[in-house]
Amino acid sequence: MAQPKSHVYSKMNEDGDIEKVITKQPRKSERDLNIPPEYFNLGMYLVVPLIIGVAGGIYLDNKFGTQGTFTLIGIVFGTISIFYNLYKLYKKG
């Protein structure tokens, strides 16, 4: 039967001396952040609505022969939906 591995760390006590600390579990790195998984899709929350708005605006401009009107409307709606997505993400987390 294998013995559990112990982890040895150095720590500075209140007097300024360095002492050994032995634990059963590895120390969690201070760099490990507790990031919710929704934040990994943040680029999609920001980019996709704007791309859809611009692409839809360009399509409607070409179909109706307008000169950028629908593209500007698509940019505005895309930007509004970006802020709405960020607000939902903020309220959730």
- Mean pLDDT score, 70-85: 96
49 CB burial (10 A radius; 0-12, 13-18, 19+): buried
> Where in the chain are the domains?
37-92
pLDDT band at 47 (very low <50, low <70, confident <90, very high): very high
Per-residue model confidence as pLDDT tens digits over 29-42: 655 667 777 778 88
What predicted TM-score, i.e. pTM, was given to this entire model? 0.61
Per-residue model confidence as pLDDT tens digits over 64-73: 999 999 999 9
